[in-house]
Every structure is written in structure tokens, then in C-alpha cells.
Structure 1
Amino acid sequence: MKELYNQLFQKHKTEDNTSLTYMDSLQRDIAIGSWEVNLQTDTVIWSAMTKTIHEVEQDYQPNVKEGVNFFLEGYNRDLISLLFARAVNDQQSYDREFQLKTAKNNIKWVRIVAYPVIEDNKTKKVIGVLQDITEKNNTLNELKLKEELIRTTFEHAPNGMALVSLSGEIITLNKTFCDYLGYTTEELIGCKINKLSHPGDIDIIPANIKNLIDGVSDKFECEKRYIKKDGSYINCILSISILRNENNQPIHFISHLIDITERKVAHKEVETLLTTTKSQNEKLLNFAHIVSHNLRSHSGNLEMLLDIMKTDLPECTENEFFPLIEEAVNNLSETISNLNEVSIINSKESKDLKAVNLLKTTHTALANFKASIIATDAKINISIDSNIYVLVIPAYLDSILFNLISNSIKYKRPDATPVINISAQQTTDFIKITVSDNGLGIDLDLHKNKIFGLYKTFHKHQEARGLGLYITKNQVEAMNGKINVSSKPNEGTTFTIHLKHEAH
């Protein structure tokens, strides 16, 4: 802009048309306007570009007061008034940035450079140039805002962050990084970051760093331990990325740490608990098998002895106590058999699952109840696509359907013909099997938490043992499925079972 000032001074010496034309052209090309205030004639002259910046018509004739009033009221207007007064009275030049409001009410940033023209030690004129710097200032303000945003994000990030030189020294870091390791900012700046590594993890970084510098990768992530100031260590997820300049040359690394020490401790505790639980379950299962086997032997001996008595010593059975003893032994044998069945359910593994046709299995289950269906005049509705296959332990699926159909017939309402609906539909993850009836129903407000309990019964029936639903639930869950129930007294019950299909 210095050359333009010199041209302005030359203009005031020549004031010829050629000079004026040249100045207007120059100002238009570089988007800088000129102005002058003649203190002797009290006139103000604006160049064409100055008027364009102020968004006034080209025939606009300004004066000093109007010119000052274009500046935003307050700081900007007060400052331009003060600087102009100093130029006039103290013969001081100025170069400052201001905000003004144009004739069209647009806010602009302008840079004004002004010089007093002095003759006989008196200020004759004040001349200057005016440049529209709105775009530049807006860009700078946006850049400052982004820088502030980045700085705030960096400083207040919940995880540790550090800017690291290519040679490994920490340039700057945030508070969280310091808190992780127990150092102050001053203690860590300039420190080689690899010196903070656990000795067993030092070799993790170098090969990956070379790939970053060579452009093979933009970032890498690993699990790494760091030594704290107190000598303990933390487990971290370390993520390192690289910053490059406009020439794509690497300049800095950004290290990002996430402290996973608590997660690692919790994971280890869970692993220990799972190991302990697995061991205990295996011991309990072995204990159940041993007890079941031994009890079955003893109960079998009792049954055999009773049979011998009935055959060889019939006179010993002709009393009121023998039938009671026989019933007690039979009940004991049944209980042992049931408990043995429960104990082996969860010993089956997912590898035992097989794909079976659900419709075919359902018809097979119903075949067991032909006599009961005829006797009760039960109506059976089946809505299962013949192409639906479920991933199950076949014996478990047979048992599940048997128990649910048996309950629907067993607990029918005496005043209604039994209606049993069996349906299935395939979803993304499961085969949804529904078995519903119009029987006695269950009061879930009373029994919701007991419905699948062991030896829990909800109706008086001579065959009720409280074992079927318990076994059913365990069998469903052993096949990675789930079972739910909805029911209302005297309206019926619906069991919904979700089992995996072949795709899963």
C-alpha cells in the first residue's frame, strides 16, 4: 500500500486529469479506495472505490460528520474521531482497522491508513486509503473459532491427548494425559514419550511409527501399558495419527490414550468368576450324577424287595402299611428319575443341535394324545409352514411339545371344548412357536415369578407334579432359546417359544 500512498501524494501535487484517471483505475484494480479531507475548504472527496465500499451512489457528496457516522456507534466511531483529531491537531498518521455500516446496512471491516498533509507547520489536508478487509477478517475469525474449538476439545477431552514430535518428544498435552500418569504438564513436556512405556511394550511402537512416516498408513491403534509416576502402570488403548503440512510432509504425531485399567481388572474378575463357576457347575453336575446313580440303585433295590415280598411272602403284604410303603418307594423312584432328567439337561452342548422339521415333529407329538383328543373332543389348529426347520436337540423339542400339549388337555375348562392352537413363524433370528389354549389359565398376578419353578403347581389335578414347565424352560434355554407365557384365569394360556433356525 506504500506505493499507493506515494501516488496519492503525487496526485495532490499534480491534480491533473491524467493522474486522476490513473488513480481511479489503480484503486479499482486493487480494490482500495482513497479519500481526502480539505481542512481549508471543509470539503471531503471520496474516490469511486471508496464510494463503492460504502455502497453509496457515485454522485454522493460526503462531509466529515456523515463520513464519521458510517462507523459503528461506540468504540469504532469514537476511535476514528480521536485518530482524525490527532492527525489534524498533532499531525499524527494512523493505520487501524474499523467496522462500519454501509448505506445498505451491511457491516464491513475496513483498514484505513491516513496521513496529514502539512504546509507551514499546519495541517492542510488529511488524506488516506481505505481497504475492504471483511472477507479476510471473517476468514481469520472463522479460523480463530476453529482453533479455539480444537484447543478446547484438546484441553478438555475426557481421554489423554498429546502432540508429539517426529523424534518422540512431547510438545504439548492435555490435563487428562497428566492425570493418567500422575505427572504435571511441566514434567512431561519435552519428555520422550516412549520412556513412559512399560518395558514389555516398548517394541510395539517403532515399526508402526515408520509406517506412519512413510505414508503406508494414516494411523494405528494398539493396547499398551504406561508407567505412572508412583511406579504402578495403567492399561491403555493407544491411537496414533500423523499430521502433515501442505507439502504432505509429516510434522507431528497425535497420541490419543484411553485408560482401560478398570475394564481390564473387571474383565479379569469376570474371567476368574466364569472359570470358578464352570468348575463348580461341573462338580455339581458330577455330584448330581453320582447321587442320582446311587439313589437309583437303592430305590431299585427297594422296588425289587417289595416285588419279592409280593411274590414269595404275600401274607406280609396283607396289611395297611404295605401299600403305603409301596407308594412311598414308587414316589421316591419317580422323584429320582425326574431329578436325574433335570441334572442332564444343561450337559448338552450347542454342537448337539440339529435341524428338524417343526411341522413333522408337531404331528409326532400330537400322535401321543390321539386317545385324549378323542375323549375330550379337543379341536387342534396347526399353522406351521412345512418348510420351517428349527435348530434343536430333537429329544428336547419332543419333550417341550409333549409337555405343552399335555398341559392344554390336562387343564381344560370343564364347561368348554378344548381348543389348542399351534403356530410358527420365522423371524430374522428365531423361529417363533406359539402354543395356546382356552383352558383354565393361570393367575399371573399371583404366580408370575413361580410359573417355571421346580415343583410348582397351580391347579388341583391328580397328575400335577410341578416339573413339566421347569424342565421345558431349562430345555429351551439349553438350546439358546427363550420362553414366555401370557395367561388369564378361565380364558386360557399362551406359551411363546423362540428357537434358533439354520441360518443362525
Structure 2
Amino acid sequence: MMIGLKNASIKQKLIVIQTITAFIVVLVCCVFFVVNDIKTFKDAAVRKMYSLARIVGESAVSTLLFIDQDAASQILMKLNKEPDILEAAILDNNGKLFAKYARTKPDIDAIKDITNEKEIAADFSGNKLTVSYKIYQENEFLGTVVLRAALNDLHKIISGYIKVAGMILFAALIASLIIGAFLQRSIPHRLLSLVSKTKEVAETGNYSLRVADNGNDEIGILSQGFNNMLDRIEKMDTYLKETNIALKDYSRNLEQSNRELEEFAYISSHDMKSPITSLNGMLTLMEQKNVVREEHRNLFLMAKNSARQMQKTINALNEIIAFRKTLKIEKENIDLHEALEDVKLRIYDSILSSGAIINADFSACTHVNYPVAHLKSIFQNLLTNAIKYKQEGKPPVIDIRTSIDKNFVVLEVKDQGMGIDMKMYKDKLFGLFQRFHTHIEGVGIGLHMIHSIIESYGGKIYIDSEVNKGTTFKIYLSNVPF
């Protein structure tokens, strides 16, 4: 029943609760009146039987004094005028049967003296009442009168009460249902109105809707609270929409600025490329023609190195611009072994000359859903860095392995090279043109490119490094379709 009520409407719950309450109250009242009337009936029956027993006892005094059993029997025979009397007996002062009466088959042995030294005693057993009365003459105990009567009227009364109580309960049940439905009509209507508005707001997202309820009861307070909540949500929704529009405008402006900056960088690097190339050619020609005076040799070499470095920077800038245009390309299901082997072929000369040892364990995950060009770029940058920044006099050892973490394939690349001073460069690891070992030739765009690739596809990269001990790269590659 409780499970059924759980999914019932509030109106149904209120009617059921009121009906059950009314039913219990009426039932308790009926039980009280029935029990009270039964007690009253029993008390009246006891008084009537006591009166008869006393009359019989007073009439039997002389028969007990003169031991006249026939006269005593005649007195008991007069009880046949009482239709409820079943059996009667007079006992002497020793408790022995002195006289008896039975309306039908005698059962005097079943009559017990239940006086227990009281002047009068009554016992209800089944549908019979047994009453005993002690007979005294000037404080001398002469004997006892015992009467047993049938309580047929009691059963009739109880049956009648049960019928009447059933009718009253049924009438009360019907009345409570009708009255409850009528009186509670307004409560479910107001609650249903609140529920309807709640559903409408949830389905349409229209926070301007309100519940029309000015009551001061709990439902009215709930409706007012609901309206106040909608006021706040509506204001917040308006603010969020305005903010979203502003963010979209800002994003468009930012994208436009980025495009303009990239275009400017491209044009600038393109325009500078020819003069720098010409300058490098002229410096090389001057060196070949040996036209530089000895006292100007150092200045010439500085100019040549600066021109060469500028050439590398311009080339790196062009590479970055071209690289950014390739982000967000389509993913493929890539075999990690094949991708790594292809990269190793590309940098075969570096591996051979350095004596690099590359260990790969892809047992945890052999394939990844990723753009093949970008995955190979990650491999190539990390491997070339590990080879370039190896410890002096030691062949580089590079360990690569995979693992799974939720929706990510984790690619871990560990080397035993020079390492990075994390205290000094922790916040500059992925900056453009950032270099951590200036004594080795480089531009400083590799980690920046790796970081851009990984984050553009929803991944993360973490670096743990210690100087002269090596570096570990942990790359979380998003393995879900982009």
C-alpha cells in the first residue's frame, strides 16, 4: 500500500489519509460504545441474577434450618418462570447439594461454588452466567444458592451492534470520501498548478513564467518561493546570455586578431627571408674570396653567426605558422609500432651516430585514435630532443611505453639525458623559442608544438625532470573520436 501511495497524486494521498483517519475514529467510537453496552448488559444481568439468588436464599432459610429438601426443591421450581435460568442449586453449609433445579437435562455437578468467601460472586463462562449467594441467619452461615443463566440476549446484542457498527463505518467511509474530495479540491488544484508550471519551465526554458497563488498557507509560501527562484534564475539567465554574446564577440575579435597576426608574421617572415638569404650568400662569398681583413675577422664571424641564427628563426617561424594551420585534422586508428618505426627511419642518421637505444613497450595499448601526422610529430620531437640533449660520453637510452587511464591512452617517454632545471624553467616549458641548454644548437619550438598538438585534441602533457638524470614525458592522448 505504501508503494502504491508513493506514486499516487497528492489529492489521492490526502483523501486516503483523511478516510483512514475517519475510519479509525469511527471504529474506536463504535468499539467503545459496544464494549460499554456489553459491560452495562452484564452488570444488569448480574444484578438481576443476584436479586433472584437473594430472593431464593431468603425463601430457603427455613428449609435449611429444618432440613426440608422438598420445600427447597419447590422454591427452586418457581425459577422455571425465568426463561434464562438453566440450572439452580442450594448447597448446605458443608457445600453439599441440598436441592436442585434444571430446565433440561440436569448438570448440577458442573455448578461450582465460586463465592470464595464473598457474599456474592459471578462468573461469565462462554455464553453462561453463574451467580452464587451465601445464606446467613443471624450471622450463622446456612448455605449457598447457585444460579446459572443463558446469555442469549447478549449474543443478539453483540450481533446487532456489529451490524450497526458496520453500517456506520460504511456510511462514515462514504461520507469522508465525499467530504474529503470536496474540501480538498482547492489544495490539489493549487499544487497541480505549481507542478504544471515547473514542467513548463523545465521543458521550454522560459523563466518569465510565474505561479498565480496569493495564499498565505504552506502552498502559497511554496509558490512565492518558486516565483522568487524564477526571478533569480531569469536574471542569471539574462546575464549569462549577455555574457555569452560578449564572449562570442570577443572570441571572433580574438580569432580575427590571431589571423591578422599570423598573416603579418607570415608576410614579415616571407619578406625577410629573401634579404637574409642574400645576406648569408654575400657573407659566404666574402669568406670564399678572402676579402675580409684579419683585424675584422671576429666582427665578420659574429655577423655571419647572427645572420645564420636569424635565418633559423625565420624558418622556425614559418614552420610554426604552417603547423598551426594543420591543427584539428581528422583522426585515424594508428598502430603505434608502425608510427614509431616510421619516425625512426626519418631520424636514422641521428640514431646511428649517437648510438641511441630505443625501447618500446606498447603491450597495454597497441593502437590509438589520433591524427597520424601529429602523433609522428610528437614521437619525432621527443626522440630528437632525447638524442640532442644526451649526457656527454653516454649513448642515449629512451624508454617508451603505453598505459590506459579512463578515456586516455597515456604515452610515456623517458630518457637519461641532461634533464631540465624545473625550478628555473617550470613555467616556461612550453613557451615559443624557449631553450634550456644554450650551449647546444637549437631554436626552441619543439615542446611548444607538442603542447599545442596535445591540447588541441583535449589531452594533457606532464613533465618530470632532474638535471643530469633525465626527463620523463607523460602524454595523455584523448582516445575518443574528435
Q: Residue 224 of structure 1 corresponds to which residue in structure 2? A: 206
Cα distance between partner residues in 2 of 1:369 and 1:313: 32
Q: Residue 376 of structure 1 corresponds to which residue in structure 2? A: 354
Specify which of 265, 269, 276 is matched with residue 250 of structure 2: 276
- Paired amino acid for 1:384: F
1:193-233 Cα shifts (integer Å, max 9, x gaps): 89xxxxxxxxx979x89xxxxxxxxx97442233789xxxx
Whether the 8 Å CA contact 2:283–2:304 is kept in 1: the answer is no
Q: Residue 303 of structure 1 corresponds to which residue in structure 2? A: 277
1:50-94 Cα shifts (integer Å, max 9, x gaps): xxxxxxxxxxxxxxxxxxxxxxxxxxxxxxxxxxxxxxxxxxxxx
Give the 3-state SS of the residue equivalent to 1:414 in structure 2.
coil
Cα distance between partner residues in 1 of 2:313 and 2:124: 110
1:92-141 Cα shifts (integer Å, max 9, x gaps): xxxxxxxxxxxxxxxxxxxxxxxxxxxxxxxxxxxxxxxxxxxxxxxxxx
Answering whether residue 40 of structure 2 is matched by residue 13 of structure 1, we say no
Q: Residue 343 of structure 2 corresponds to which residue in structure 1? A: 365
- Paired amino acid for 2:430: F
Specify which of 286, 304, 313 is matched with residue 335 of structure 1: 313
Deviation at 1:255, TM superposition (A): 11
Q: Which has the higher contact order (CA 8 A, sep 6+)?
A: 2
Deviation at 1:484, TM superposition (A): 0.8
Deviation at 1:409, TM superposition (A): 1.4
Whether the 8 Å CA contact 1:422–1:434 is kept in 2: the answer is yes
- Paired amino acid for 1:261: E
- With over 3 angstroms needed to count, the CA separation of the structure-2 counterparts of 1:480 and 1:317, relative to structure 1, is farther
Cα distance between partner residues in 1 of 2:257 and 2:395: 49
Whether the 8 Å CA contact 1:438–1:492 is kept in 2: the answer is yes
**What is the TM-score when the length of structure 2 is the normalising length?**
0.53
Deviation at 1:473, TM superposition (A): 1.0
Cα distance between partner residues in 1 of 2:246 and 2:481: 33
- Paired amino acid for 1:364: D
Give the 3-state SS of the residue equivalent to 2:208 in structure 1.
strand
Give the 3-state SS of the residue equivalent to 2:257 in structure 1.
helix
Whether the 8 Å CA contact 1:299–1:329 is kept in 2: the answer is no
Answering whether residue 421 of structure 2 is matched by residue 443 of structure 1, we say yes
Q: How does 1:55-134 map to 2 (within 5 A)?
A: none
**What is the TM-score when the length of structure 1 is the normalising length?**
0.50
Deviation at 1:362, TM superposition (A): 0.8
Cα distance between partner residues in 2 of 1:413 and 1:343: 32
The number of aligned residues is: 307
Cα distance between partner residues in 2 of 1:343 and 1:298: 15
Specify which of 310, 313, 318 is matched with residue 292 of structure 2: 318
Cα distance between partner residues in 2 of 1:301 and 1:436: 42
Give the 3-state SS of the residue equivalent to 1:484 in structure 2.
strand
- With over 3 angstroms needed to count, the CA separation of the structure-2 counterparts of 1:456 and 1:298, relative to structure 1, is closer
Cα distance between partner residues in 2 of 1:370 and 1:502: 32
Whether the 8 Å CA contact 2:407–2:480 is kept in 1: the answer is no
Deviation at 1:483, TM superposition (A): 1.0
Give the 3-state SS of the residue equivalent to 2:334 in structure 1.
strand
The sequence identity of aligned pairs, in percent, is 21
- With over 3 angstroms needed to count, the CA separation of the structure-2 counterparts of 1:224 and 1:317, relative to structure 1, is farther
- With over 3 angstroms needed to count, the CA separation of the structure-2 counterparts of 1:418 and 1:256, relative to structure 1, is same
Give the 3-state SS of the residue equivalent to 2:390 in structure 1.
coil
Q: Residue 287 of structure 1 corresponds to which residue in structure 2? A: 261
Q: Residue 261 of structure 1 corresponds to which residue in structure 2? A: 234
- With over 3 angstroms needed to count, the CA separation of the structure-2 counterparts of 1:11 and 1:367, relative to structure 1, is same
| Greater gyration radius | 2
- With over 3 angstroms needed to count, the CA separation of the structure-2 counterparts of 1:377 and 1:225, relative to structure 1, is closer
Give the 3-state SS of the residue equivalent to 2:433 in structure 1.
coil
- Paired amino acid for 1:406: T
Cα distance between partner residues in 1 of 2:394 and 2:257: 49
Cα distance between partner residues in 2 of 1:483 and 1:324: 38
Cα distance between partner residues in 2 of 1:301 and 1:503: 45
Deviation at 1:435, TM superposition (A): 0.9
Answering whether residue 384 of structure 2 is matched by residue 418 of structure 1, we say no
Give the 3-state SS of the residue equivalent to 2:312 in structure 1.
helix
> Comparing both structures, which one devotes a greater share of its residues to strand?
1
Give the 3-state SS of the residue equivalent to 1:490 in structure 2.
coil
Specify which of 356, 372, 378 is matched with residue 400 of structure 1: 378
Cα distance between partner residues in 2 of 1:434 and 1:291: 34
1:365-415 Cα shifts (integer Å, max 9, x gaps): 122333333333322211125983333333322222111111211222225
Cα distance between partner residues in 1 of 2:472 and 2:388: 15
Unaligned runs of at least 5 residues, structure 1 = 20-40, 49-162, 173-191, 195-203, 210-218, 230-252
Unaligned runs of at least 5 residues, structure 2 = 1-31, 51-82, 85-117, 126-185, 212-222
Whether the 8 Å CA contact 1:390–1:502 is kept in 2: the answer is no
